[in-house]
């Protein structure tokens, strides 16, 4: 077995078991079966994405671009589920999932070709900016949350990651 592959799946398994161990020693970590299934699906999806790209492409720039997009999508969902992006930590912001859906849909429509993937990542970055703008415009109660420093930093961070992936895909297309 490939040592990189073993390291990747081993890391995913370790990270999934970490909360189980932590729950034995502290009440601060309180996962239920849904949390483990949710994170298992999330880790599995990202792991399968890595498996596919590393089997199908030898282009390092393309691999790096896909890796960045996968990690960005993973972090986007994980942070949103764990502490929320806009709002309090118990509030999962469903509209932010739309950003990942746009990236995935764009990738499938582009048939995973680098030039199309670059456009998909640009669409994801624009969606990343549009979601909080729409929340600000449509939900008066969300205005202060959207304008909070924490939310603005996270939104800028994710937008920058999607744009970096787009630039890498553009480079891979040349």
- Higher-pLDDT residue of 86 and 166 is 166
Rg (CA), the chain: 17
For the full predicted model, state whether its pTM sits above 0.85. yes
Contact 70, 50 (CB under 8 A): yes
Reduced to 3 states, what is the DSSP secondary structure of residue 28? coil
pLDDT of residue 63: 96
Query: Could you read off the pLDDT of 47-95 as tens digits, one per residue?
Result: 999 999 988 899 999 999 999 999 999 999 988 887 766 665 556 677 7
Question: Where are the chain's structural domains?
Answer: 59-173
Between 148 and 72, name the one with better pLDDT: 72
Residues 98-121: pLDDT tens digits? Answer: 999 999 999 999 999 999 999 999
């Amino acid at each position: 077995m490939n040592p990189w592959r073993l390291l990747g799946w081993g890391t995913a398994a370790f990270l999934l078991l970490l909360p189980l161990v932590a729950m034995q020693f502290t009440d601060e970590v309180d996962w239920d079966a849904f949390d483990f299934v949710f994170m298992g699906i999330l880790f599995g999806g990202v792991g399968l994405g890595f498996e596919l790209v590393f089997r199908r492409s030898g282009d390092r720039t393309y691999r790096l671009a896909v890796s960045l997009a996968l990690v960005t999508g993973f972090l986007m969902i994980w942070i949103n589920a764990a502490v929320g992006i806009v709002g309090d930590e118990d509030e999962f912001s469903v509209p932010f999932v739309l950003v990942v859906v746009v990236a995935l849909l764009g990738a499938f429509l582009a048939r995973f070709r680098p030039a199309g993937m670059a456009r998909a990542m640009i669409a994801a970055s624009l969606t990343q900016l549009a979601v909080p703008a729409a929340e600000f415009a449509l939900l008066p109660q969300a205005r202060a949350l959207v304008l909070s420093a924490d939310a603005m930093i996270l939104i800028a961070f994710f937008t920058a990651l999607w744009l970096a992936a787009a630039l890498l895909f553009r480079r891979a297309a040349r």
